[in-house]
Structure 1
Amino acid sequence: MTDQVPASIRYKELTALATTAAQQLRKHERARAAELGEAVAASQQRKDEAEERRQQVVEDVRVRWKAAMEALWDERWMQVKGMPEPDRSAPPATPEESRRDLQDAFMDLYNALEKPRFGAGLLPRRKKSS
């Protein structure tokens, strides 16, 4: 004769296996949820830092624009309506590169304004008579 396991014992074994599997699944899901929570928090922190850097670049642009307008105040021929919109066709750059390029462009403008105007220095100065 063959040994047959009673159905009640087999049922208990199967329910024990199912319970163990469910517990392992819940443990795995809790661990995965914790990992995902950390990833979301890290992503949020990176997003906040990127927004802060963006705000710094925007503020630098605003300050340099205001300084450029003040430097150009005596250039009445130049008609400037207001600060232009960002150039979306510009090549990608890091915030640090953008700030450095902005400073370089501002210094180029400032240096150009310090140069003598067209025709200045071409004619000899009149000597003061005593």
Structure 2
Amino acid sequence: MTEQIPAAERYKEITARATTAAQQLRKHERERAGELGEAVAAGKQRREAADEQREKVLDDVRKRWNAAMEALWNERWMQVKGMPDPDRKAAPSTPDDSRRDVQQAYRALYDALEKPRFAASLRPRRKKDS
């Protein structure tokens, strides 16, 4: 025959298991909360770094835009209203690539403005031999 365990002992055994399980669960939850806290802190740092990088890019773009507007000041025929909004359809790129592209575009504009525009019309005309 099987031996009967008194209900009081069985109760103590069950409550001891439940207590151990609850302690293990609390320990696991504390560890997980710590991991999640670290992940949130790391995410916040990444976000702050990205925001800082974005501000650097925007500042660089604003500086180049203002320099371009100064370079075009004498071009009265050109109607420029203000700095355009970012192109949301543009291909994704890194901040450094974006800054480099803006610098290259600015240099191309500046170089184009430096070329003599009316050089041919300013040369002295040769007299035709009659």
Length-normalised TM-score, structure 1: 0.91
Q: Distance in 2 between matches of 1:61 and 1:95?
A: 11
SS where residue 113 of structure 1 aligns? helix
Identity of aligned residues (%): 69
> What displacement does 1:122 show?
5.3
Partner of 2:109: 109
Q: Distance in 1 between matches of 2:74 and 2:24?
A: 76
Length-normalised TM-score, structure 2: 0.91
> What displacement does 1:15 show?
0.3
Aligned residue pairs total: 125
CA RMSD of aligned residues (A): 1.4
Q: Distance in 2 between matches of 1:123 and 1:64?
A: 32
Q: Which runs of 4+ in 1 moved over 2 A?
A: 121-126
Q: Distance in 1 between matches of 2:22 and 2:86?
A: 55
Q: Distance in 2 between matches of 1:123 and 1:48?
A: 56
- Residue 11 (1) aligns with residue 11 (2): yes
Which consecutive unaligned segments of at least 5 residues does structure 2 have? 126-130
Deviating more after overlay: 83-92 vs 93-102:
83-92
Q: Distance in 2 between matches of 1:37 and 1:97?
A: 33
Partner of 1:100: 100
Q: Distance in 1 between matches of 2:13 and 2:26?
A: 20
> Which residue identity lines up with residue 92 of structure 2 in the other structure?
P
> Which residue identity lines up with residue 76 of structure 2 in the other structure?
R
Partner of 1:85: 85
